[in-house]
Structure 1
Amino acid sequence: MQLEYGLSKLKIKFSGRMEGYNSAILRKDITAGIIVGIVAIPLSLAFAIASGVKPEYGIYTSVIAGLIVALFGGSRVQIAGPTGAFVPILLSIVLLYGYENLLIATFLSGIILLLMGITKLGVLIRFIPRPVTVGFTSGIAVIIFCGQIDTFLGLQGVLKHEYFLQNISEIGRHLHTIHMPSVIVSVICLAVLIICPKLVPALPGPFLGIIASTLVATFFFNGSVETIGSKFGEISTAFPEIRLPQITMDRINLLIGPALAITILGSIESLLSCVVSDEMTGHKHDSNKELVGQGIANIVTPMFGGIAATGAIARTATNIKNGGKTPVAGIIHSLTVLLLVFTLAPLVSRIPLASMAPILMVVAWNMSEQKQFFHLLKTTKSDALVLIITFILTILLDLTVAVGFGLLLAAALFVNRMSDTLSVEKVLPNRNLREKVTPEVVNPYHDCPQISIYTINGALFFGAVETFETTLTQCIKAKPKLLILRLGNVFVLDATAEVALEKIVETFHKEKGLVLITGLKKQPKEILRKSGLYEKLGEQNFYDRTGLAISDALLHIDSEKCLGCKHDAFYECKELSKQLAI
């Protein structure tokens, strides 16, 4: 929205994400915003509790981050707030560094996200392989699901640990403390969550699940099932004051790792959510602007005590399905959360903790991407390997290690595959295929001792340069007078390959030989010009077509060596022999 101030009146000019706005769209935005706000309340409470912080901090995050991303983000319909994907990371940070340092890590992450958006790094999301994203998403889902088992069963005395296996072991040691009233409350909430979308899809399942389970806990198990209020105290009805994080170099050094973990996950999830919303609405988001919005949100939210936020795929989809068209729906969502929670704070405090567990379990199940996981297992072995290793490392270690190793492994396997695609073949004119050179006609009895022609197909880069060097080194040992390199199918040439090519050229020149290049593409030509090899070879030794290169090469051969030669490699050989015989 652009504001243009006149002397007599204020004119509002709608553009970009608000273009064509009218009262009908406003009604849809209000309806969608209210529904998403109702859905967001139980999720915000559950994510905050599971992250090891007070439930109201999840509410602050939904209100502030949701509002800021709606105003400054790059999508028309993105709904931001705390998400399940953040739970393992935030809980780990709280356990290791404490809540105050979590706020600083989130603040630092916001700065990094903002810089990524300003420097237009939003496109980097396209370079993260699908097996990596599915692997860590599924891993996070397993951690969230298993992390709620103790709350679902009402286990007593369970302590939270940093690592997955420690938490599973802790649950196993306390299975004897199962609390049946908590189990009943959890099962009722879970049943509503499963049945509601099938019977009444228009109503928010998490909200109904909490109402039903809270009523059961209140009237049948009054006082025996732990609630939000009994564990965390009453939900405050006052909005928190602004507190600037106390940042020092020591804290930056301590928390830069956690901040990067929040940044990686936040950027990936927010941009994936934008992609999903694009598919549902037909509009195109701005990745860099979205990162700017997410960055601002994660800078401001910690000042109010909120936790890390990102685009929430499920809430964004709910917004779209209920008619949300513009950022106004995101603003209404934030206002709805604010008004409902702070006007109904006493009732929120009576929600059983056992009601939170099924909500998170269902979130984990929905984000686990089982279909994609098993589909990728059936594709290539390399993709399956990346998927499994990323998945296992996410569960056993942490997201940063998993994504980093997954990307390195995917890159290494990709380089290996690309190196296999490079071919370096010796060719000669095929008289059955007019104006074509092919490798199958080359044999010990049909080959020119003075002119060697090689066709290179594929990317000529560091991963494939060994094949290139080995083949041409064998060629050099035969000491041909001219070497013609057909590079018409080489679209990429890197510095390593350029150095290898330069060595080959230098070796040929030392032997008084000549290197001719045909079909050179734009990118390889730029590399050769920048390195100086283009000038060293001489512009006259570059040709658009192989036929012209062969014609000029025949002018530089030692004609006396053609006497008695029976190879008949080129069309001109017979004519050349006749001329020599005369």
Structure 2
Amino acid sequence: MPKLITCFQEGYSFAALRSDAVAGLTVAIVALPLAMALAIASGTTPDKGLVTAVVAGFLISALGGSRVQIGGPTGAFVVVVFDVIARHGYDGLLLATLMAGIILVAAAVTRMGQWIKYIPEPVVTGFTAGIAVIIFTSQIKDLLGLSMASVPAEFLEKWPAFWEARGTVGPAAILGLGCLALILVMRRWAPKMPAFLVAVIVAAIAAPLMGLPVETIGSRFGGIPDHLPMPAVPEITLEKLRILLPSALTIAFLAGVESLLSAVVADGMTGRRHRPNAELLAQGVANIVSPLFGGLPATGAIARTVTNIRSGARSPVSGMLHAAFLLLFMLAFSGLAAYVPLAVLASVLVVVAWNMSDAGRFVHQLQVAPIGDRLILLTTFVLTVMIDLTVAIEVGVLFAAVLFMHRMSEAVSVREHEQPEASAGLPPHTVLYHIDGPMFFGAARKLADVLERTGGAPKVLILDMEAVPLLDATGADAIQTAIQRAARRGASVILFGVQRQPMGVLHGLGIRHRRGSVVMAADLDRAKQLAQDLLDR
């Protein structure tokens, strides 16, 4: 159930509406330059960012599982959106976003919201820092006003090209670097002021007053429409669905991860708990509807959500009003956006990239994390920057899964009981082994290796499974192999202390209590008694 309904059920007062209106206006002031800047960085026009902030922002707040989440375009999507547009055009992006929305709705319906917490931290930190580096690099040309026919697509080719064009640094550099300094000073000394919007206004006024020949939104894009476009469904074919599926999965993954991370941050600040599946559903609906209006992918935005909370937001109404205020700007003041210099939007995105990189966390993980986690972090980071975000996420998650399996297998021990009290009363020709840890395919080989090294030819093999909480098919197969090998030489196997989950797996493979090759016992004393009975037969 959306949090909006919960808030109304609890009682919604005029005082709450007033607080939400102030917070919504504050967030809209922050979101206005960000939405335009992120759209331009993504390779499209600034109005697409505003449309996304209006449509998706309203739906994410109205349907979401967080009281204070603010949705819209974010830096996390810049790389994948730019790539999809370059490969498949803007129509391809619209269809990929719609597909991502459907995937998110399916994830919400199947209650997969809680699974997001299992995404490894090094993977998230790595690809986020990589995206930040790409965003920063993409803004160098506009920030410095470089005269370049085109910017190379490959990361390693960009910097030599920038260096070769260093002699063309134009007046835009004065504006861009000056606004960058202004933003940093305001964030340090006047944190409650909307630094981004102030910088945009100052630049829009200063450029014509100083006679600076700089590119503006109007000169490059022709301004911003004063209305929302009519909704339209993008062309859908099976071939397009097949080609765009990887991009759709990446968009859905990013939307799910960032929105739930943002909701967790909000929970920490407000002391409340969000509903992850309701949040995923809202993200899905927003990403289905946004492309119908020509919008970009959207998700929860951490920085705007934090601003919303600090501005006194009480309910999702603040996010809905934030979207309404942005729509009002489009309807009444969009013509003013034509005077905004691109250099100042570049300075805004440089700050966004720095915040997004979370350099402190990145360096901290490199310093203190285990070597495996460091390799995952660096691999994901490098692949994001050098190759492709989709590849980086796939390889990072796969690498993390392999590392996890290795660590779990190392944690499993299979050893002969050394405690005197356990060995006391053990019948002759009987061997007792203790298994400690989950027996899955990564650790099954360890059991097989230990059993192969068993000295002599014991007539009874007892396996202590009291400390085995989990058993998969491969682990069960290793036990079944031990039973079959014992049966071939006329020996028996006794399993004791088997927990419910392992017992279910063993039963599923047909390994049940029966006199002869395999016997089940409740505890060690009963296992010793059964071993003696088998030897006496």
* TM-score, with structure 2 as normaliser: 0.95
* 1:86 counterpart letter in structure 2: F
SS state at 1:555 partner: helix
String of CA shifts for 1:503-540, please: whole Å, max 9, x gaps.
11122123222211111111111111221102456899
Residues 1:549 and 1:195: Cα distance change in structure 2 (over 3 Å)? same
Structure 2 match to 1:411: 401
Q: Which residue of 407, 417, 420 maps to 1:427?
A: 417
Q: 2:268 aligns with which of 279, 284, 309?
A: 279
Q: Which residue pairs with 1:507 in the alignment?
A: 485
- In the alignment, does 2:327 pair up with 1:338? yes
Instruction: Tell me how large the CA RMSD over aligned residues is.
Output: 2.1
* Identity score, percent: 40
Report the counterpart of residue 546 of structure 1 in structure 2. 524
In 1, the alpha carbon distance for the partners of 2:168 and 2:514 equals 80
Distance 2:223 2:406 in 1: 58
What is the rounded CA distance, in whole Å, between the counterparts of 1:549 and 1:16 in structure 2? 59
* Structure-2 separation of matches of 1:118 and 1:321: 32
The equivalent of 2:288 in structure 1 is 299
1:193 to 173, 183, 206: 183
| Structure 1 residue 547, shift from structure 2 partner | 2.1
CA 1:254/1:162 → structure 2, altered by over 3 Å: closer, same or farther? farther
Give how far 1:138 is off. 0.5
| 1:574 paired residue number | none
Is 1:172 the equivalent of 2:163? Answer: yes
- Is the alpha carbon distance of 1:538 and 1:50 closer, same or farther for their aligned partners in structure 2, counting shifts above 3 Å? farther
Distance in 2 separating the partners of 1:494 and 1:298: 38
Matched residues in 2 for 1:516 and 1:71: separation?
A: 59
Q: What is aligned with 1:155? A: 146
SS state at 2:422 partner: strand
* Aligned residue in 2 for 1:322: 311
Which of residues 437, 443, 448 in structure 2 aligns to 1:469? 448
For the residue of structure 2 that corresponds to 1:386, the secondary structure is: helix
Tell me what 1:227 maps to: 216
Q: Is the Cα contact below 8 Å between 1:103 and 1:306 reproduced in 2?
A: yes
Paired residues of 1:140 and 1:394 also in contact (CA < 8 A): yes
Deviation track 1:221-268 (CA, whole Å, cap 9, x = no partner) reads 25x111000110021112211111111112112222221221121111
Per-residue deviation, 1:134: 0.3
**Matched residue, 2:27:** 36
| Structure 2 runs not aligned, ≥5 long | none
| 1:424 Cα deviation after fit | 1.2
CA distance in 1, matches of 2:59, 2:167: 46
d(CA) in 1 for partners of 2:226, 2:280: 31
Partner of 1:556: helix, strand, or coil?
helix
Cα separation, partners in 2 of 1:540 and 1:156, compared to 1, 3 Å: closer
- How far is the alpha carbon of 1:354 from its aligned partner? 0.3
| Inter-partner Cα distance in structure 1 for 2:17 and 2:385 | 44
In the TM superposition, residue 14 of structure 1 has moved relative to its aligned partner by: 5.5
Contact persistence 2:513–2:520 (CA under 8 A) = no
Q: Tell me, in whole angstroms, the C-alpha distance in 2 between the residues paired with 1:153 and 1:489.
A: 63
Superposition deviation, residue 204 in structure 1: 1.0
Deviations 1:428-470 (A, max 9, x none): 551xxxxx327xx9xxxx9975010011111111111111011
Which of 433, 442, 450 is the aligned partner of 1:454? Answer: 433
The structural deviation recorded for 1:557 is 2.7
With over 3 angstroms needed to count, the CA separation of the structure-2 counterparts of 1:150 and 1:520, relative to structure 1, is: same
Counterpart CA distance in 2 for 1:20 and 1:536 is 64
CA distance in 2, matches of 1:509, 1:16: 66
**In structure 2, what is the Cα distance between the partners aligned to 1:188 and 1:536?**
82
How far apart, in 1, do the equivalents of 2:146 and 2:9 lie? Answer: 50
Cross-structure match for 1:361:
350
The one-letter code of the counterpart of 1:20 is G
Q: Which moved more, 1:150-159 or 1:309-318?
A: 150-159
Structure-2 residue corresponding to 1:371: 360
Q: In structure 1, what is the Cα distance between the partners aligned to 2:173 and 2:52?
A: 29
- Residue in 1 aligned with 2:231? 242
- For 2:50, the equivalent position in structure 1 comes to 59
Bigger mean CA offset, 59-68 vs 113-122? 113-122
- What residue in structure 2 maps to residue 112 of structure 1? 103
1:42-53 paired onto structure 2 within 5 Å: 42-53=33-44
Aligned equivalents of 2:322, 2:143: Cα separation in 1:
29
User: Is the CA contact 1:151–1:354 (under 8 Å) kept in the aligned structure 2?
Assistant: yes
Q: Which has the higher mean CA deviation after the structures are superposed, 115-124 or 545-554?
A: 545-554
- Give the aligned partner of residue 6 of structure 1: none
- Structure 2 residue aligned with 1:564: none
Deviates more, 1:156-165 or 1:37-46: 156-165
Change (3 A) 1:14 1:464: closer
Look up the match of 2:203.
Answer: 213
Please state whether the residue corresponding to 1:554 is helix, strand or coil: helix
- Is 2:533 the counterpart of 1:555? yes
Relative to structure 1, the CA distance from residue 511 to residue 29 in structure 2 (aligned partners, 3 Å threshold; closer, same or farther) is same
For the Cα contact (< 8 Å) 1:73–1:294, is it kept in 2? yes
Q: After superposition, what is the alpha-carbon deviation per residue over 1:382-421, rounded to whole angstroms, capped at 9, x for unaligned?
A: 0101000000001011111001101111111111111111
Higher relative contact order (CA 8 A, sep 6+): 2
Determine the C-alpha separation between the residues in 2 that align with 1:537 and 1:270.
56
1:327-362, CA deviations, whole angstroms, 9 ceiling, x for partnerless residues? 100011001111123311221110000001110010
Determine the C-alpha separation between the residues in 2 that align with 1:464 and 1:177.
61
TM-score normalized with structure 1 length: 0.88
Match of 2:474 in 1: 496
1:251 to 240, 245, 249: 240
Question: C-alpha displacement at 1:544, in angstroms?
Answer: 2.6
Contact 1:461 1:496 in 2 (8 A): yes
On the 8 A contact 1:92/1:162 being kept in 2, the answer is no
C-alpha separation in 2, matches of 1:385 and 1:295? 33
User: 1:217, CA displacement in angstroms?
Assistant: 0.8
Partner in structure 2 of residue 309 of structure 1: 298
Cα distance in 2 for partners of 1:73, 1:148 equals: 33
- Quote the Cα distance in structure 2 between the aligned partners of 1:504 and 1:537: 16
Q: Say whether the 8 Å CA contact 2:427–2:532 is kept in structure 1.
A: no
1:525 corresponds, among 503, 522, 535, to 503
Conserved in 1, the CA contact under 8 Å of 2:186 and 2:193?
A: yes
Q: Which one has a bigger Cα radius of gyration?
A: 1
Give the Cα–Cα distance (whole angstroms) in 2 for the partners of residues 250 and 93 of structure 1. 15
SS of match in other structure, 1:478: coil
